[in-house]
């Protein structure tokens, strides 16, 4: 390294408190909307098919953490998602390049074929660094927001009467409908029942937060809602539609809209009024549905891609 007093090393369990503080500062300086509580970080580090001791790198100087590189492996589709952040005052010193090099090498070890990086649409410096390292912009995602008080919604409570909550023990049904709805779409890594069980047991989500529409015993559409608490702001909750999916055989028949309205009714009944979600700008049907309900574009992000040889 050009500056030998910097070190890049693997994360260790004893690093937890410093890492949480680093994530908190990163979110405060450059907000992304993610939850950064110690509980949320614990859950992220403990997710299936991920090892923080192998997949997370820390940058430190004199014992102080100044950056990180998180490498999320998705073995089924042979890709990794790279998440990199460095304190602003330590940028323009080649550290991002070195971290991304670590990420690329680890991706090769994982036998990934492609690496993806998601950045805010207005992050000019990140665009320059990624382009210089051989990454190309491949997708534009939109961040949408709905204020249920300000927008005149359909009678969502009436629509919700045709929906129900996912029940404990039905995680296999959610796995099946999710994979049927999204397998083959850009960037989707098929889920396993183990992963669905894990994610529906998080602090921010349970099976009660997954609203489903059924045709007999068959789940044909679902709306996965998430509620998170802002760190340092007691009592302030944020709501998000994590995923909305419909069985391909039932598209165009109103099942997706019913699930979405059911999810909004669920969040409204929990006392929440503002709901966020992220959607691929190329998914015209989904964008049209969200905008018909009253969601408005708030910001956007870009996905960059690099093939690994």
| Residue 145 reports pLDDT greater than 70 | yes
Comparison of pLDDT for 290 and 156, the residue scoring more: 290
Among the residue ranges 16-30, 43-57, 126-140, 156-170, the one predicted with the least confidence is: 156-170
Closest CA to 187 of 135, 227, 140: 140
* pLDDT of amino acid 1: 41
Give the predicted TM-score (pTM) of the model. Answer: 0.88
The answer to whether the beta carbons of residues 281 and 140 sit under 8 Å apart is yes
185-241 pLDDT per residue, tens: 999 999 999 999 999 998 878 999 999 999 998 999 999 999 876 555 545 678 999
* pLDDT of amino acid 174: 96
Closest CA to 106 of 59, 60, 61, 52: 52
Comparison of pLDDT for 40 and 244, the residue scoring more: 244
Which segments of 153-284 are extended strands (E)? 164-165, 210-215, 218-229, 237-246, 274-280
Domains of the chain with bracketed CATH:
6-112 (3.40.630.30), 150-272 (3.40.630.30)
* pLDDT of amino acid 33: 73
15-59 pLDDT per residue, tens: 999 999 999 999 888 887 777 888 889 999 999 999 999 999 999
């Amino acid at each position: 390294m050009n500056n030998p007093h910097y070190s890049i090393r693997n994360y260790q369990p004893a690093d937890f408190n410093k890492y949480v503080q680093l994530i908190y500062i990163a979110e405060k300086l450059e907000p992304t909307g993610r939850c950064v509580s110690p509980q949320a970080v614990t859950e992220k580090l403990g997710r299936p098919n991920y090892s923080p001791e192998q997949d997370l790198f820390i940058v430190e100087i004199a014992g102080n953490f100044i950056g990180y590189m998180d490498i999320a492996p998705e073995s089924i589709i042979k890709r990794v998602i790279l998440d990199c952040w460095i304190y602003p005052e330590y940028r323009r010193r080649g550290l991002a390049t070195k971290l991304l090099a670590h990420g690329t090498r680890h991706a090769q070890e994982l036998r990934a074929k492609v690496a993806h990086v998601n950045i805010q649409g207005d992050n000019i410096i990140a665009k320059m660094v990624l382009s210089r390292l051989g990454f190309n912009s491949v997708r534009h995602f939109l961040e949408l927001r709905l204020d249920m008080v300000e927008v005149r919604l359909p009678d969502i409570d009436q629509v919700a009467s045709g929906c129900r909550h996912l029940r404990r023990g039905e995680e296999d049904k959610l796995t099946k409908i999710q994979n049927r709805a999204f397998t083959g779409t850009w960037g989707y890594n098929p889920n396993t029942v183990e992963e669905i069980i894990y994610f529906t047991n998080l602090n921010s989500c349970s099976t009660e937060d997954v609203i489903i529409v059924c045709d007999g015993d068959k789940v044909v559409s679902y709306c996965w809602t998430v509620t998170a608490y802002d760190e340092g702001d007691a009592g302030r909750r944020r709501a998000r539609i994590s995923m909305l999916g419909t069985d391909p055989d039932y598209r165009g028949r109103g099942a997706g809209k019913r699930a979405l309205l059911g999810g909004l009714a669920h969040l409204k009944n929990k006392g929440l009024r503002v709901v966020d979600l992220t959607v691929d700008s190329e998914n015209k049907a989904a964008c049209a549905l969200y905008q018909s309900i009253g969601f408005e574009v708030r910001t956007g992000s870009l996905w960059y891609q690099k093939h690994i040889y």
